[in-house]
Amino acid sequence: MVPALLAFGVAPLMLGVANRTKAIMAGRVGQPLLQPYHDLVKLIRKGAVYSRTTTWVFRAGPVVGLAAVMIAATLVPLGGVRALVAFPGDVVLFVYLLAVARFVTVLAALDTGSSFEGMGASREVTFAALAEPALLLGLAAVARTVGGFSLSTMLGAATARGWVAAAPALALVAAALLVVFLAENGRIPVDDPATHLELTMVHEVMVLDHGGPDLAMILYGAALKSWMLGALLIGLVVPVRTGVASLDVLAACAGMVGLAVLTGLVESQMARLRLVHVPNLLVGGTVLSVLALLLILRSS
């Protein structure tokens, strides 16, 4: 129960941490840490304007997207604490629930008939198709190392032992998961969350026509997704499993904050990749996962 509640409550805060990091690096004071919550509240209070081209698909997009991401959030453990729902194979359900959210977001974008949104949708499905094998193969490598394929087992008590047994392979997986994390959440070097109106945008442009409560759902859903993918990475990279749940969760939360700071640092230090090079990065992520698997298969 704890991991899901933390995700629902704290996810937007990570966005605030990343933004604050970027501001400090740029020599600005920056927005309050709780700004994402203020934004959500502001949007929830608004009305809405819909394009005359759109149908119910456009209105259903944010609703189904948020619901799918929320169910997915119940599958992710944190700091070795079991997720609300855990069963062998939940890793597949997790990935496919994210796919549901993507599917409806892309359709909502196409429903506007705008070429901007069409362009964003096209890039989204392209990058997702390349990120999915990296994610699932990386998780398969973890599964083979720890000998179980429920997320709560893979990122539970066994993770620490996994590092002892196969540290190089897990490090490669961590790198692959970082690539997936940055790509799926639309962060630099794949996408720039700060721009709306440039030809290189992906995630932001898909939701250009959404406003009010719909946009709030999309932003909250994006924060949740970012939290979940981060939790996978942190669950692997911060294998603190003392057995005292509160300590472990605290360590994981510190890891999450660290990840948000890292995202902010990457964003202030790097430029976005040229769009044609993004697939190289993602295929690189898949290759890292495959290498990890080869290492593990060879040693067993």
Partner 1 sequence: MRLLLLGVGLLVVGGVAALLLRSVRGATSVGVASAIAGCLAGVIPAVRVLLGAPVESLRLVWDVPYGAFFVQIDALSAFFLLPVFGLSALAAVYGAEYMTHGHARPRATSWFFFNLLVASLAMVIIARNAVLFLVAWEVMALASFFLVSYEDDDAAVREAGSTYLIATHLGTAWLLALFLLLGRGTGSLDFDRFGPGGGVGLLFVLALVGFGTKAGFMPFHVWLPEAHPAAPSHVSAVMSGVMIKTGIYGLLRTLTFLGPLPAWAGWLFVGVGATSGVLGVLYALAQHDLKRLLAYSSVENIGIIALGLGLGLVGIHADAPALAVLGFAGSLLHVVNHAVFKGLLFLGAGAVLQATSTREIDALGGLLRRMPRTGLAFLIGAAAICGLPPLNGFVSELLLYLGAFGATTSLGSGAAAPALVAIAVLALIGGLAAACFTKAFGVVFLGEPRSAHAADAAEPGVRMRLPIELLAATCLVIGVCAPFLLGPLAPVLVQVTGLPVDVVRSELTRDVPTIMTLSGCGLALLVLVALVAGIRRGLLSGRSVTTAVTWDCGYIRPAPRLQYTASSFAQPLTDLFRPLIGTRRRLSLPEGFFPRTAAFASETPDLYRERLYRPVFTGIERSLSAFRWLQHGRVQVYVLYIAFTLLALLLWTLGAS
90/248 with CB nearer partner 1: 90
Residue 101 CB, nearest distance to partner 1 (Å)?
10
> 63: burial class by Cβ within 10 Å (0-12, 13-18, 19+)?
middle
Under 8 Å between Cβ of 152 and 2: no
97/252 with CB nearer partner 1: 97
Residue 108 CB, nearest distance to partner 1 (Å)?
9
User: Which residues fall within 8 angstroms of residue 293, CB to CB, at 6 or more apart?
Assistant: 137, 140, 141, 144, 169
Rounded to whole angstroms, how far apart are CA atoms 31 and 19? 7
Residue 192 CB, nearest distance to partner 1 (Å)?
17
DSSP class of residue 78 equals B
Residue 21 CB, nearest distance to partner 1 (Å)?
30
Q: How many residues does the chain have?
A: 300
97/166 with CB nearer partner 1: 97
Under 8 Å between Cβ of 149 and 227: no
124/248 with CB nearer partner 1: 124
* Partners of residue 78 on adjacent β-strands: 81
Rounded to whole angstroms, how far apart are CA atoms 253 and 259? 10
Q: What are the phi and psi torsion angles at 210 (to 5°)?
A: -80, 150
202/231 with CB nearer partner 1: 202
Residue 286 CB, nearest distance to partner 1 (Å)?
8
55/246 with CB nearer partner 1: 55
Residue 142 CB, nearest distance to partner 1 (Å)?
10
Q: Which amino acid is at 216?
A: A
